[in-house]
Amino acid sequence: MDWVSTKPDKYADVPYEEKLRLFLEVKNDPRYEDFLYGCYECGICVSACPSARFYDFSPRVIAQAMAREDVDRFYEILVEDIWNCAQCFSCVRCPRQNNPGGLVTLIREVAVRNGLKEARDVLQGYSRVIYKVMLKGNQVSPDMLQPDFFPDWGPWVREFSENMDVWRRAIPVDTLRGVTDAAWRTDEKTLLELYTIWFETNNIDIIQEVDEGLYELLLDVMEEALEEVA
């Protein structure tokens, strides 16, 4: 164990070797050394961070824990902290040119690649987004607002989704003309290329890690499309 904190380790049940493996997966990412130089612990990233105002979240602590190679704290960050980041990258004003938001990106990728429960839980609400992105190359259109999805749209999403239709009609211009159609209109050649990319880059395997049901759905559509051409 690298750091002996006198506070009890919250995830003592997870073997240290497993935490270290995940830590090294982040650290060995080729982008890592451009995202973390050294930390002054000045707090400018926290000051700029919108999430830090609402959650127990600190980009500084993430940068520091990584620099200290504090594997236990890293594991806490992996399963808890990173999911509170909005990935807005306000934190890149760092005087040392660190990129704490980029570190969060890397850690999230590791969580997803390893199919961690926390990653699966977080992505649950986004399965429709993923479905659309992967099948159409585009994600939401404005009429997709639904109460049970997109939790980051805030607690008002239920009221919005119930009333949106009426509110739109109150606006004198035609607000949604062609938007939904256009958002998902993708020509066939592009779609086939897109599906090929998902397979070639193993992206589809990552989906399998986090959402088996979604994976099956996507696989059906994509394989059929690709087979037709072949």
Partner 1 sequence: MASETVLVIGGGPAGMEAARSVADLGYPVLLVERRDRLGGRPEEEHYAKLTHHFREAEDMIRELVEAVTTHSNVTVMTSSEVVGCEGEPGNFRVKIRNGASAEEVTVGSIIVATGFQHFDPGRETQMYNYYTFPDVITIADLEGMLKAHQVVRPSNGQPPERVAFIQCVGSRDRQIGNEFCSKVCCGIASKQAIEVKQQLPDSRVFIFYIDMRMYGYWENEIYWPAQEEYKVNYVKGIVSEILPKGDRLLIRGEDTTMGRPMEVTVDLVVLSVGMEPSEGTRKIAKILDIRQNKYGYIEAGGPTGVDPVATSRPGIFVAGAASGPADLDDTFATAGLAAARAVATVRRLQLAKAA
Find the binder of partner 1 among 22, 52, 62, 65 (CB under 8 A): 65
- Among the residue ranges 67-75, 171-179, 184-192, 210-218, the one whose residues contact partner 1 (CB under 8 A): 67-75
Q: Which is nearer to partner 1, 36 or 119 (CB)?
A: 36
Give, to the nearest 10 degrees, the angle between helix 117-124 and helix 127-136.
80
Of 191, 194, 142, 209, nearest to 171 (Cα)? 142
**Binding of partner 1 by 21 (CB under 8 A):** no
> Does 56 contact partner 1 by CB under 8 A?
no
Give Cα 193 distance to the centre of its chain.
Answer: 24
Query: Residue 38, interface with partner 1 (CB under 8 A)?
Result: yes
Site for partner 1 in 82-121 (CB under 8 A): 96
Checking 127-134 for CB contacts under 8 A at 24+ apart, the result is 127/211, 127/213, 127/214, 130/207, 130/211, 130/214, 131/214, 131/217, 131/218, 132/184, 134/194, 134/198, 134/203, 134/207, 134/218, 134/222
Nearer to partner 1, 41 or 121 (CB): 41
- In order, the DSSP letters of 29-45 are STTHHHH-S------HH
Q: Which of residues 178-207 bind partner 1 (CB under 8 A)?
A: none
First-residue to last-residue Cα distance in the chain: 54
Q: How far is the CB of 47 from partner 1 (least distance, A)?
A: 14
Which of 24, 34, 37, 50 forms a contact with partner 1 (CB under 8 A)?
A: 37
Query: Minimum distance from CB of 37 to partner 1 (Å)?
Result: 5
Q: Judged by CB under 8 A, does residue 7 bind partner 1? A: yes
Q: Is the CB of 75 or the CB of 195 nearer to partner 1?
A: 75
Contacts with partner 1, residue ranges (CB under 8 A): 3-7, 37-39, 41, 60-61, 64-65, 67-70, 73, 96
